[in-house]
Structure 1
Amino acid sequence: MKIWAVAAISLFAFGALAPAVAADLPLYSKAPVAPVPALEWTGVYGGLNGGGGLGHACWSVVGLGGVAIDPAVGEGCHNASGGTVGAQLGYRWQKAHWVLGVEGQGNWADFKGNNVSLVLAPLNNRTRIDSFGLFTGQLGYTVNSLLFYGKAGAAVAHDKYDEFIPGVGVVSNTLSQTRWGYSAGFGVEYAFAENWSVGGEYDHLFLGHHGGDLASSILVPPGRTERIGQDVDIGLIRVNYRWGGPVVAKY
């Protein structure tokens, strides 16, 4: 009888303890967390770009027939607008969320504009920008597939200037200039695949004031020396392919 009593007490104690032990045990084991791939922007990249631009040019006469004019006589301003396509090549290096880079870019352009001279109407002064290049450094901040960056550096543009009378045509020799200055801009880029990215960019080119001689003609004597100030605003869509730079696994 004692044996049965001890057995009954033991069974009752075990039944009371079992739920408490079971409560401490997990119902199931969790699967390991899969690593999340994080884009690494480090590497050489290259690509194509396209968009539009607007050059603002102001002309002033600073010489007439070899004689200097001081102060200069303003002839007015105009915008030279149009499309552009080009290519870029660069290198980026990422440290944590920060990205440093250098880039060279070259573009063909077709920016044109003119205004009636305030001094020699109906003579029109015309500006044409047919190419430009940028050589810049970059500083950016990345959040996985998005890169926000600013850029600054040197700029160069090739310009052609001439004068015409509507209905008559060009009445002076064309003045061609390669103008150097500096640039500043910003952009955002999105990596839609492991090595491919697309983005938008804005750049402002500060090209300063440069002088040049426009030869005389029968219709517009004598020859003049012009001082032309110019800035250019450019908006671009860019597509890049990146070589190198692993995709890093993060947990």
Structure 2
Amino acid sequence: MSFSFEQVKALLEDRYQRYNTPAFIPHDPVSVPHLFQQKQDIEIAGFFAAILAWGQRKTIINKCHELLQRLDNAPYQFITQHHDEDLKQLLGFKHRTFNDTDLLYLVYFFKWFYEQHDSLEEAFLGNPASPITCQKARLEHFYNLVFSLPEAPHRTRKHISTPAKKSACKRINMYLRWMVRNDERGVDFGIWNRIPAADLICPCDVHVQRVARRLGLIQRTQSDWAMAEELTQNLRLFDPDDPVKYDYALFGLGIEEKF
């Protein structure tokens, strides 16, 4: 069955309105950063919630709560003010293949980064004198920066995707959606203002991909960066300023309606 441009747009707009509400929050990993008010706490909790978004949503959320407890439910304060002895409470954390080696390094990286910067947004922007203006380059810069420290374990690289390896970068794109989109509907935070919503790339999990293919929004069969760009470019036909708002529609159609 094929759908016309008008049919697809009407469906996406309707489901965007239906699913982009506070009722979406409790059963989604975005609920984790919503536990906080301080910008840096939201950034850090959101980052870990996105990176650990692998598997059943209930399990992901429970694991994130465990991680936050190990960070004294104050992630920014713990990361910037902890003593070496405090790091012992991170030992033994594990979610799938993410373990305490990965956690300890990311805490180390964040401590190093926040000593020099106020917001994690700056990790995606490049040199202030010549800021990066391409979303693909922003994600590649972030990956390279995270693993630029000599202490970086090789094993941790698999937990942060980069377009340079042709990954669709679902989890980082989801994280950026949370931080950047600002439609005042209560789900996404909109606390970063130097990356335009128009530049965001749609997070592509299996549900989003299935629905997008059925609607004719992607032709590419391989799940990679080129597919994520293809989908986003087609979503821009419906809203060039905020294409990733339709992530709600595609995800909701896939998860809630088995479309």
TM-score by length of structure 1 reads 0.20
TM-score (norm 2): 0.19
Greater strand share, structure number? 1
